[in-house]
A and B are shown apart, each in its own frame.
Chain A
Amino acid sequence: MAIGGFAEAGADLELVGISKRFPGFTAIDDLDLTIPAGSFFALLGPSGCGKTTTLRLVAGLETPTVGRILIGGKDVTDVKSFKRPVNTVFQSYALFPHMTVLENVAFGLRRRGIADPVGKAHEALRLVELDHLAARKPQQLSGGQQQRVALARAVVNRPALLLLDEPLGALDLKLRRQMQLELKSIQSEVGLTFLHVTHDQEEAMTMADTVAVMNHGRIEQMGAPEELYELPKTAFVANFLGQSNLFTGPVTNSGGSSIVVDIAGVAVEVPRERAQRHAGTVTIGVRPEKLMLHTSAPAAKAGTNVLGPGRVTDVSFSGVSTQYQIAVLGIGLVTVFAQNMVFGPVVNLGAEAWVAWSVEHGFGLADEPEHAPKFSPDTDTATIAAQTRHELLAEIEES
């Protein structure tokens, strides 16, 4: 491994049949993953899904129970972490408290005996616009500044592969946005391969070329962000990446270009190529922003699915859009995001409403129906708040 000099370009990373077992639990279960050189790859998942363990395996801070790790085609499974052409931006930053910012950044360069470590460290600090603080100690900097130092300390080494472990977690929204753009521009400027681990779906989608959604030590689905969002294959992906309305029912007709699913007596169509399963009981879904809200029963039209009538049980205004919860008889709650094209909510609480969507926006999931939830709300706070409010109101009405 050429750690004696700067990497000319990013290297591709290949994980082959990786498993990592700790006493009592399996963090990673038979993972295969290839990240092409020069790409920005995001590993997305809830905490405890094995994403950080994957990162630590690549960095060499853990050894896999089984499987091989290849960087740039070379097997590094048994190579010690300090000999791997990899650098990490740690979640905790892990800046050496006894060294100045400059010495922190120059640390890796000095260890590899690269010429002019101080000059290159200053250059890296200029890149993150912190050169004027080079003489300070890390604890004299704010969280955001420390984060940028950590980034400079990793990037200055020009590793073939840069690992980012939730590096933006501690930043406020505004700074996080800036850092996202900054990271993205550094990545395209330098052409390094980035492996970014995060639980923030928005961050993963805005920054990465490819997103892999991880759950219980396995990759549920992998692809371009738009692809993952538009066509989730499992209920987990459908709900972890944005929100989804999911319905389960038996397939009644799978002959044509779309399959027909019976949802509480209503025939709902899903394009054949967008459905993972074509027979038996299946779970289908549609994104809330794809739904149109109607105050009167819309005329039946080919290429449109209609559910209703239902009652609007919750309206929450969030600036750009308004989120409606509609209780449809026999189906349950359906969530609709409507753009605020006019002032105030279009329909009021308690109003009767129908929802409709174009057939091409639906998707069918691969999950076994018994595992798939009929409707599983996202854990995002707005939804939880809305539902809590809904339950409270129901309770008050009862008493």
Chain B
Amino acid sequence: MAFAAFGTSTAATEQAPRRRSPVAIILLLPGLAYLALFFLAPLVSLVITSLQAPVEFGDVGQYQAAFQIENYAKVIQDYWPHFLRAFGYAIAATFFALIISYPLAYFIGVKARPWPLLQAVMLTLVIAPFFISFLLRTLAWKQLLSDDSAIATLLKNLTILPADGHITGTAFSVIFGLTYNFIPFMTLPIYTTLERLDTRYLEAGSDLYASPATTFWRVTLPLSMPGIVSGTLLTFIPASGDFINASASFLGSAQTQMVGNVIEAQFLNLLNYPLASALSVILMGLILLIVGVYVRRSGTEDLL
């Protein structure tokens, strides 16, 4: 066996050091300027606002520069249940969206491959809700789930729902609304990875004594991780900051308020900009933390 001769010939050739070219920097400039102007500057302004203190004897909504770190302590003390709810609802919605989207994406991306027309129609159907305003669709659900709607009546008749029970205004309806609204964001990335899934790997799995369930668990699922990770991020991040579904004028009630609702109220109704900013900074920090841990744990840093 003379294979050894070929064994060592695998060392990759070192890449030549890249030449520094001013062209790359010039091409990057507009993007960098955009980021600095519309992301970095507002972020700095947000942090500065979050530390402001009210102007003494001033009007409502008048604040001055300060270093009032107590703002943070105060919002955590007052609103920790809203944070908990925001992340709880977002995680639940992400989970349900994943459970619903994965089989759907698998069907469109793998099973429907022999019928491109069917694939196109189903993809269009996934995207179709985007053509109608997010607010209108959520309001429509409010109607469908309202106390005297057919759904609620049916559930009451079946005694699943108590006679004086509601669907809207509960944690259920908020999670339902979040799940519904973010399903396309989950489905599309998963579809993109599954659409590229080489079914020959599945045949190899079957050839190597793996049952369809084992093949799915050991081969299909790991290979679709990039899609799952981007889908869950695209759902979880906006869902945890969402303030529409949980709002009392949509599917929520006073008992289902999320951080997004508090920020909205502080900013627009109470004009308490420092508290709203502090809430935003904390929310952003927590999302970054959760996402960072998640991406690290899922082991897909190099796949993203």
Contact = CB atoms under 8 A, between A and B. Distances in A.
Interface size class on chain B is 20 to 34
Contact of B206 (A81, A128, A132, A175): A81
A36 interface: no
A153 B223 contact: no
B115 interface: no
A178 B9 CA distance: 16
B38 interface: no
B214 A182 contact: no
Contact of B3 (A87, A95, A148): A148
A94 B203 contact: yes
A157 B208 CA distance: 8
Contact of B207 (A88, A92, A182): A88
Contacts of A82: 205-212, 215
A110 B32 CA distance: 51
A112 B209 contact: yes
Interface string A8-51: 00000000000000000000000000000000000000000000
B-side binding surface: helix, strand, loop or mixed? helix
Contacts of B205: 82, 96, 107
A61 B203 contact: yes
A97 B10 contact: no
B22 interface: no
Q: Which of B205, B207, B210, B212 has the most CB atoms of chain A within a 10 A radius of its CB?
A: B207
Contacts of B207: 59, 61, 81-82, 86-88, 90
A371 interface: no
B204 interface: yes
B132 interface: no
A237 B209 CA distance: 37
B222 interface: yes
A111 interface: yes
B223 A92 contact: no
Nearest to B199: A94
A144 B223 contact: no
B1 A129 contact: yes
Nearest to A175: B6
Contacts of A141: 10
Contacts, number: 84
B201 interface: yes
Given A3-B209, A97-B223, A111-B210, A145 B6 contact: yes
Contacts of A108: 208-209
A167 B51 CA distance: 68
Nearest to B203: A61
A301 interface: no
Interface string A246-285: 0000000000000000000000000000000000000000
A60 interface: yes
A108 B204 CA distance: 10
A71 to B, nearest CB: 14
Interface centre among B3, B198, B204 (most CB of A within 10 A): B204
B3 A157 contact: no
B208 A92 contact: no
Contacts of B214: 111
Interface string B2-34: 111011011000000000000000000000000
Contacts of A399: none
A381 interface: no
A4 B141 CA distance: 54
Contacts of B3: 128-130, 148, 178, 182
Nearest to A163: B207
Contacts of B6: 142, 144-145, 175
B209 A90 contact: no
A98 B211 CA distance: 19
A133 B7 contact: yes
Nearest to A113: B209
Given A94-B200, A130-B7, A140-B10, 11 more contacts: A81-B203, A81-B206, A82-B210, A87-B207, A94-B203, A96-B204, A97-B201, A107-B208, A129-B4, A141-B10, A178-B2
24 contacts: A59-B207, A61-B203, A82-B205, A82-B210, A88-B207, A90-B207, A94-B203, A94-B204, A95-B204, A96-B204, A96-B219, A98-B222, A98-B225, A107-B210, A107-B218, A111-B208, A111-B214, A112-B209, A129-B3, A133-B10, A145-B10, A148-B3, A178-B3, A182-B3
